[in-house]
């Protein structure tokens, strides 16, 4: 079993560590992850909330807004793991973080270079009247997510884009939806700059996101994993530490 001292040595032997995070880095900030007991997908069925079903059904949109509000990270604060990631970037030891998370806690901790592979729950966006093929093709309208919550509270069960009348959706990437190109380009750029990748708090079970640690390993970069439980990519890692990220990374 690898100890936390090994993690310290591993971090010290690399010049530039790009970080890759999942929902597990935010559970110590009070935000449930997806697949642990009590996680989001133990209360909602992700197959019900695909992009295609969202576009087709006002009922699915209503359920999606209810879930969004229930898990909205309002008031959640970064924990020592987010703070360590931001510190490494400030100290020039990391090009930044590639995250699957939509909670905004990396930016709140001071991270500047954040590739948000799955978008952000802080905003809503127009996805157009009838997007096809999982590609949101809206008019460009975007607002703070609270705009949608306020519209629903004011009695509009299925709020539409005030600019073009199209559908609006959380600015996140749902199952069945194409990922946005910009964060992918930023992630690829950060991997180019790094000589190692540290995964923190992900089950590494969702692609294409989980492909990034595989790319790092295939390029011969160092790979470290901090996770509460084993992941399918542990065999590719130089160091694997099973535990709570906030405790393991506090002060590092
Ligand atoms: N410290 C370390 N690891 C933790 C902690 C913690 N405090 N809390 C939970 N974990 C681990 C869990 O054991 C789990 O393996 O974090 C992992 C979280 O896995 P998931 O819940 O699957 O979340 P994630 O990997 O981010 O999911 C990827 O799936 O549904 C989609 O879009 C969603 O971005 C999400 C993607």
Q: Are residues 101 and 219 in the same domain?
A: yes
pLDDT tens, 146-192? 999 999 999 999 999 999 999 999 999 999 999 999 999 999 999 99
- Which one of 41, 201, 247 would you pick to mutate in the ligand 1 pocket, going by the greatest count of ligand atoms within 8 A of its CB? 201
How confident is the model at residue 73, as a pLDDT?
A: 62
Residue 204 predicted with pLDDT over 80: yes
User: What is the Cα gyration radius of the chain?
Assistant: 19
User: Is 118 a catalytic site residue?
Assistant: yes
CATH number at residue 201: 3.40.50.1220
Average per-residue pLDDT in the chain? Answer: 95
Whole-model pTM: value is 0.96
C-alpha dihedral (146, 147, 149, 155), degrees to nearest 10: 160
Same structural domain for residues 148 and 61?
Answer: yes
- The Å distance, Cα 139 to ligand 1 centre, comes to 33
Nearest C-alpha neighbor of 186 from the set 212, 157, 221, 159:
212
Total count of domains within the chain: 2
Q: What was the pLDDT predicted at 2?
A: 62
What residues have CB less than 8 Å from 243, skipping those under 6 apart?
4, 226, 228
Q: Are residues 154 and 46 part of one domain?
A: yes
Q: Are the C-beta atoms of residues 44 and 67 closer than 8 Å to each other?
A: yes
112's tokens: 């500047």
pLDDT at 249 over 90: yes
| 5 shares its domain with 102 | yes
- Nearest atom within ligand 1 for CA of residue 102: 34
Q: Ligand 1 in contact with 80 (CB < 6 A)?
A: no
Give mean pLDDT, residues 62-79: 87
Q: Are residues 67 and 93 in the same domain?
A: no
DSSP 92-149: TS-S-EEE---S-HHHHHT---EEETTEEEEEEEEEESS--TT-----S-EEETHHHH
């Amino acid at each position: 079993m690898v100890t936390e001292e090994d993690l310290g040595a591993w971090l010290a032997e690399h010049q530039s560590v790009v970080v890759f995070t999942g929902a597990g880095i935010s559970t110590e900030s009070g935000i449930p992850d997806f697949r642990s007991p009590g996680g989001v997908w133990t209360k909602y069925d992700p197959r019900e909330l695909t992009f295609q079903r969202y576009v087709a059904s006002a009922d699915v949109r209503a359920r999606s807004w209810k879930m969004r509000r229930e898990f909205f990270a309002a008031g959640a604060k970064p924990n020592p793991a987010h703070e360590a990631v931001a510190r490494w970037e400030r100290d020039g030891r990391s090009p930044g973080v590639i995250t699957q998370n939509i909670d905004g806690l990396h930016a709140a901790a001071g991270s500047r270079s954040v590739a948000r592979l799955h978008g952000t729950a802080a905003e809503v966006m127009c996805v157009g009247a009838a997007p096809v093929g999982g590609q949101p093709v809206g008019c460009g309208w975007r607002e703070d997510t609270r705009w949608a919550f306020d519209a629903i509270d004011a009695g509009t069960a299925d709020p539409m884009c005030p600019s073009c009348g199209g559908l609006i959706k959380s600015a996140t990437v749902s199952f069945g939806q194409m990922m946005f190109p910009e964060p992918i380009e930023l992630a690829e750029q950060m991997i180019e700059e790094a000589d190692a990748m540290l995964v923190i708090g992900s089950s590494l079970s969702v692609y294409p996101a989980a492909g990034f640690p595989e790319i790092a390993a295939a390029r011969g970069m160092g790979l470290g994993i901090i996770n509460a439980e084993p992941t399918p990519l542990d065999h590719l890692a130089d160091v694997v530490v099973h535990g709570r990220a906030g405790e393991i990374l506090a002060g590092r």
